[in-house]
Structures are given as structure tokens and as C-alpha cells.
Amino acid sequence: MSSSGVESPDSLVEDLVEVSRSLGADPRLVLAGGGNTSLKLDRADVTGQPLRILLVKGSGQDLAGVDRHGFAPLRLDRLRALLPVADRLDDAALANELRCASVDAGAPDASVESLVHAVLPHACVLHSHADAVLTLTHAPDGADRIRRALGPRTLVVDYAQPGPALAAACASAWTQHGDDETEAVVVLDHGIFALGATPREAFERHTRLVAAAETAVAAAPSRHQVTPVEVPPVAPEVVADLRRRLSAAAGRPLVLRRSADDEVRAFLADPQLLAAAANGVLTPDHVIWTKPAPLVGSDLEAYAEGYRAYVERNAARTGRDVEPLDAAPRVVLDPALGLVTAGRTAAEAVVTEAIARHTLRAVTDATRLGGYRALPDEHVFDLEYWPLQQAKLRRSVPAGPLAGQVAVVSGAASGIGRACAAELLAQGAAVVGWDLSASVATTFDGPGWLGLQVDVTDAEAVRAALAAGVDAFGGLDVLVVAAGIFPSAAPIGVMTQETWRKVMAVNVDSVALLYGLAHPLLAAAPRGGSVVVIASKNVPAPGPGAAAYSASKAALTQLSRVAALEWANDGIRVNLVHPDAVFDTGLWTPELLAARAEHYGLSVEDYKRRNLLHAEVTSADVGRLVAAMAGDVFARTTGAQVPVDGGNERVI
């Protein structure tokens, strides 16, 4: 604040960033990158001429992490001059005008709701999709409920599509009913725009008004308590088959998340709530994540027919050609399965689950208020098939050749297994990592990673880990067998039977168990399953002192070759890699490397390159080959054994 008591523009911008992050951090207010905020400021241009600027959140920016560079500075007079003609501009022309209104060529594209922020006269506007506000608007007589709960200083506007139509609706309502005492605008089925002279004042009003909406929701009569239905244990194969069918309907592999906690089971136990859930989205803004409504039950074909009819009906209404999106639901509510959400990536499935859970709570609360009102088809369709939304979907096509696929990697906490997991993640797969070490839980982070502590020789632990992976991601496309042990070198006559059995148990027996359990999941993979086995150079070229290891890897190779023969009809590929001299793993300590290099009369660096290509082989090299074998490059290959060793004379 300046010495005159008036806050400086810089401090106001700092406050805008702070309150924006506060809104974005609260999932009751903002989900999936929604909401937007703005501030009107006076600036001077490079010539010294005064400018009135609208600083508005950039399109695609997440409020929870936005900084001052995430806002677009627009000429306010230009935006207001556009209002009378904006509805005559197509989306491309409007986007161009917004870009031309910017005073910073390096700023992000402005939110399409910039026009609404320009219409409202207050210096600061904060917009959210607060659950409680939307719940009230979904109940019978929603507009009256909003007026009673939020008071006379809140202006209520009928829903209009974001962009010029909503700006025009807000401008008309403001002209008729707005004044200096107005603290907020609520757009039915869309959200609240809180107003203030400063970001802090707008935030205080937003907080107070949302709390009033929450109080009104909480005051509704309680419903009878429903005992949560007992969802029986679900075989992972059932979820994997649902994923296969959903992916087929979507035309691409989808990642699924399944939940059957108390909240979900209580909802599923109430027929009235289940029926109300079919009434669809909480706000049209959610439709690109959730589709217009969930699939209630398991009749995927009926859902697809209903979706196609919805598209045809509304396309005829608009009179324009529409290329239908896929007809696969993104939310499934099934008493036998619980809540299942789908996305093109694990991150999308997480977002969809969050939206679905907030919608279930709103359905429950609105039902207490008298019923959960469905939104008009046309509002939902117009937003789902809005070219700007379609462009957003196209821009967000998941990167990576393995996007949408699910991998399990054993031995993933270190060494080659970790490198394989890293490469699979980099190529877009969701990865379940197993390891005996508890550190596997935090080996990577993000929604596409699930690290589980697993003893691969424990049958029940393996079953539980497969089931947990299916609940997290929906199925199994890629299985990487990387867990293994290499005992201390010992001649056959010295090696103990205990060592022999332990090596065989980990390197062979556990894989035979895993193959039996994983096969049904791999057979349900939307594009066919793939197994990649980390074998060893010791298979074609064993060395002295490594009888147990060499024999176990040879047995593993034969086991996998048989799997390739047996599983080909199920569309499952099984291929092997034979690494050698991969020195960046925990097995090779600096002391051991130095000792081996000295034994051969070489420097450590020369010892690492003691192969025909004189190339160091790293765990990352192995990881890249494994990911290639899991992908389309090896789509027509099974039963292959590929060395990754820089060239070994004995192998060749």
C-alpha cells in the first residue's frame, strides 16, 4: 500500500494472485482448472498515454498455481467496444479480437469469459463454480433459492453459454437491476461472480456468499439414512473387461479408476439418488470431462444409443454439421462395481473422479431440497460441441505412444526396473511399480504412478497388487518382468541348495505364478497385451560361478517362449531382452567396478565399454528398448530375444 493509503497496482496484482490461488486450492469452488479472476488497472503505454487494463486469467491456466504471468492484460475499452458485435463473430474471429486486445504479445490467450469481466463495472471479479451455489440452482425454484440465500445484493442471471451470449445476458441484467450495492452475480447452472473494489474485498464477499449458500443447503430436511450396499469383491478381470469395452467405444485405450468406499456405496444403495444421477452434469462446463450423464448400471450399448440420439437431436436443432464425439461414458455408477471413472490418461481419470464425487454430493443435497433438476439438453450440447471446447480437447491430446496404456513393472525401485518404469511413464503409460523395497511408493510421483511394496514370491501379495493396479488404472496392457536376484559368485560345488532354491524362487517360480494371474488381464488389453522380460546375457553365454543365476534366467527364457506360443491367439506378445554389463545399478558398487577393471588391466571407463561397439550400456538404454518392445514398433513380433550389450563375441 502506498503512503497515501491507496494500494499500488503491484500490490493489487499480488493480492489477485493470492486470492486466485485460494479459490483454485478449494475443490468445493473450482475443479479441473475452472474458474477465472480479473482486475481492472490503470497503466501507461510506452508513449505515456493512460490505458485502462483488464488483467484476466489466461485460458488454460490453473487458478491453484497461477502467478502474475498467467494473466492476460487486455485493453478494457476495446473489449467493451466489441460487446455489441461479439455475438456476430465466429469463435476464431473472437479469439483473434481478444488476442489483438492484449497489450503483451507474450501473455497467454485470454479466457473467453473476459467479456463478462469487462461488462461488470467493479475493479475485481472472482468467478467460481461453487458446489453449494450450483446445488441450489439444481433444486426446484433454484433462482428463488439463490435470492433468499444470498440476499438482495446478488443479481441472478439465467444460464447462457460462456462467451458473447453470457456477456450479453450479464450486461442486460446489470442494466436493469445492477447498482453500486451489488456484490455478486450468480449465473444459474454456471456459478458465481463475486465483485469488489479490490481482490480482498471481492474474496471476502465470495467467501461470505458461498458460506450462505452452504448454510441454505445444510438447512434442508434430512433424508432417511441408507445403509451402504455391500459391494462384493470384484475380480480384476471384470474391471479389465469393462475397460476393454469402454476403450472400444472410445476408439482409444482409456485409463479407469474404481472406488467403492462408504460414500459411493451409500449413494448406490439409494434408488432415488441413482435415478437422479442420470439427470446429468452439475454445470455444462463439466461435460468435456464427464459426458452429459453417467452410465447407471452396465448397459453400455443402451448408453451409446442414447448419446448418439442426443447428438442427432441437438445437431438438427442447431442446423450445423457436427462430427460426433465417441459414445463411451466417462462415469459409471454400478452397484456391482461402485464408481468407475475414465480418461485418456490417469490424470484425466482423477479429474473425472473428482467431478463425479462433487456431483454425487450435489445430487444428494439437491434431492433433500426437493429434487435434482436436469439441465436442458441444449445447454450441455452447445458447450460440449462448442468449437472452442473441441479445440481445447484437440490441444490436450495425450502425448506419448503409450498414452492410455497401463504397465506393471516388477523390481521398479532401482536399476533396470526403475529405468523401464521411467521410460514407460515418459511415453505416456500409467505405471504400477512393484518392489520389495518400501521406497517404491515414492520412486516417482504423479497420477500416473502407483508404487506398491510386493514380495513377488508371495502369491497373495501378487494377487492383491494386481487387483490394486486394476482399481487404480483399470487393467493391464504391458507387463515388464524386471525383478530378480544375482547371488554372490560361487562354483557349483560350493553353491548351497538354499541359494539355488532362493534364486529359482525369485527369478523363475514367481514369474510362472505372475503369468498365470496376469494372463486374463493382458488378454483384455484394448490393443493387445505385451510382456517384456529382462533376461540376461548369461542365457546364451553363461559364465563360471553363476550357475544358479544362469540356469534361472535360462528357465525364465523357456517359460516366456512357451507363453509366447500359448498366448499369441489372445493377442499377447512376449519378448525378451538380454542385457549385459549394465553398470549403473545397485549391484555394481564403485569398489566392485574398480576391482573388476583392475583384474582386466583396464580403467573403470574402459571396463564399462568392454564390448564390440566400445559403448557404455546403461539402464536407460535397456528401458528404451523395453518401451519400444511394448509399443507399436514390435507390434508384429513375439518370442524375440534381443541383446542390449554393446555386442558380445560369445553371444554373437
CATH code at position 629: 3.40.50.720
Q: Is the pLDDT of residue 380 over 90?
A: yes
Q: Which domain holds residue 63?
A: 9-218
Give per-residue pLDDT as tens, 98-122: 999 999 999 999 988 999 999 999 9
Read off the pLDDT band of 319 (50, 70, 90): confident
Q: Which H or E run includes 289?
A: helix 287-290
Q: Are strands 184-187 and 191-196 parallel, antiparallel or unpaired?
A: antiparallel
Residues 576 and 458 in one domain: yes
Q: Is the pLDDT of residue 22 over 90?
A: yes
Q: Which CATH number is 59's domain given?
A: 3.40.225.10
What CA–CA distance (Å, rounded) separates 386 from 116? 18
Looking at 218, 252, 281, the residue that finishes a domain is 218
- Between 388 and 497, the more confident residue is 497
In this predicted structure, what is the pLDDT of residue 2? 43
What CA–CA distance (Å, rounded) separates 471 from 239? 8
Q: Is the pLDDT of residue 643 over 70?
A: yes
Residues 388 and 484 in one domain: no
Look at residue 110 and give its three-state secondary structure: strand
In this predicted structure, what is the pLDDT of residue 1? 45
Residues 254 and 155 in one domain: no
Cross-strand partners of 333:
296, 339
Residue 163 lies in a domain: yes
Residue 226 lies in a domain: no
Q: Is the pLDDT of residue 395 over 80?
A: no
Q: Is the pLDDT of residue 150 over 80?
A: yes
Contacts 24+ apart (CB under 8 A), 38-47: 38/71, 38/114, 38/117, 38/124, 38/125, 39/12, 39/13, 39/123, 39/124, 39/199, 40/76, 40/122, 40/123, 40/124, 41/9, 41/12, 41/13, 41/123, 42/9, 43/9, 43/73, 43/103, 45/103
Residues 473 and 541 in one domain: yes
430's CB contacts (< 8 A; 6+ apart) are: 255, 345, 346, 405, 406, 407, 447, 448, 449, 450, 472, 473
Respond yes or no: is residue 549 known to be catalytic. yes
Residues 426 and 573 in one domain: yes
Mean pLDDT of 333-347: 96
225's CB contacts (< 8 A; 6+ apart) are: none
In this predicted structure, what is the pLDDT of residue 91? 82
| % of the chain exceeding 70 in pLDDT | 99
In this predicted structure, what is the pLDDT of residue 483? 96
In this predicted structure, what is the pLDDT of residue 318? 87
In this predicted structure, what is the pLDDT of residue 233? 86
Q: Is the pLDDT of residue 644 over 50?
A: yes
Range with the lowest mean pLDDT among 107-111, 215-219, 463-467?
107-111
In this predicted structure, what is the pLDDT of residue 3? 42
Residue 601 lies in a domain: no
Looking at 374, 395, 416, the residue that finishes a domain is 395
Residues 244 and 202 in one domain: no
Look at residue 329 and give its three-state secondary structure: coil
Give per-residue pLDDT as tens, 547-575: 999 999 999 999 999 999 999 999 999 99
In this predicted structure, what is the pLDDT of residue 8? 85
Q: Is the dihedral of CA 559, 564, 566, 570 positive or negative?
A: positive
Read off the pLDDT band of 6 (50, 70, 90): low
Q: Are strands 406-410 and 191-196 parallel, antiparallel or unpaired?
A: unpaired
Residue 650 lies in a domain: no
What CA–CA distance (Å, rounded) separates 344 from 406? 11
In this predicted structure, what is the pLDDT of residue 390? 76
**Angle, to 10 degrees, between the axis of helix 199-218 and the axis of helix 9-24?**
20
Phi (first) and psi of residue 127, to 5 degrees:
-115, 130
Residue 598 lies in a domain: no
In this predicted structure, what is the pLDDT of residue 305? 97
Q: Which CATH number is 260's domain given?
A: 3.40.225
Residues 38 and 121 in one domain: yes
Q: Is the pLDDT of residue 537 over 90?
A: yes
Residues 195 and 248 in one domain: no
Buried b (16+ CB within 10 A) or exposed e, 144-157: ebbbebbeeebbbb
Give per-residue pLDDT as tens, 192-202: 999 999 999 99
- What does the mean pLDDT of the chain come to? 93
> Model's pTM, two decimal places?
0.92
Residue 320 lies in a domain: yes
Range with the lowest mean pLDDT among 116-125, 218-227, 611-620?
218-227
Residue 528 lies in a domain: yes
Residue 590 lies in a domain: no
Read off the pLDDT band of 44 (50, 70, 90): confident
Q: Is the pLDDT of residue 231 over 80?
A: no
C-alpha cell at 523: 488378454
User: DSSP secondary structure string, 444-513?
Assistant: S-STTEEEEE--TT-HHHHHHHHHHHHHHHSS-SEEEE-----PPPB-TTT--HHHHHHHHIIIIIHHHH
Helix, strand, coil % in the chain, rounded to nearest 5: 45, 15, 35
Looking at 218, 250, 271, the residue that finishes a domain is 218
Residues 58 and 205 in one domain: yes
Residues 384 and 278 in one domain: yes
557's CB contacts (< 8 A; 6+ apart) are: 533, 535, 539, 576, 641
Residues 370 and 339 in one domain: yes
Which among 307, 515, 549, 607 is annotated as catalytic? 549
Residues 425 and 572 in one domain: yes
Number of folded domains that form the chain: 3
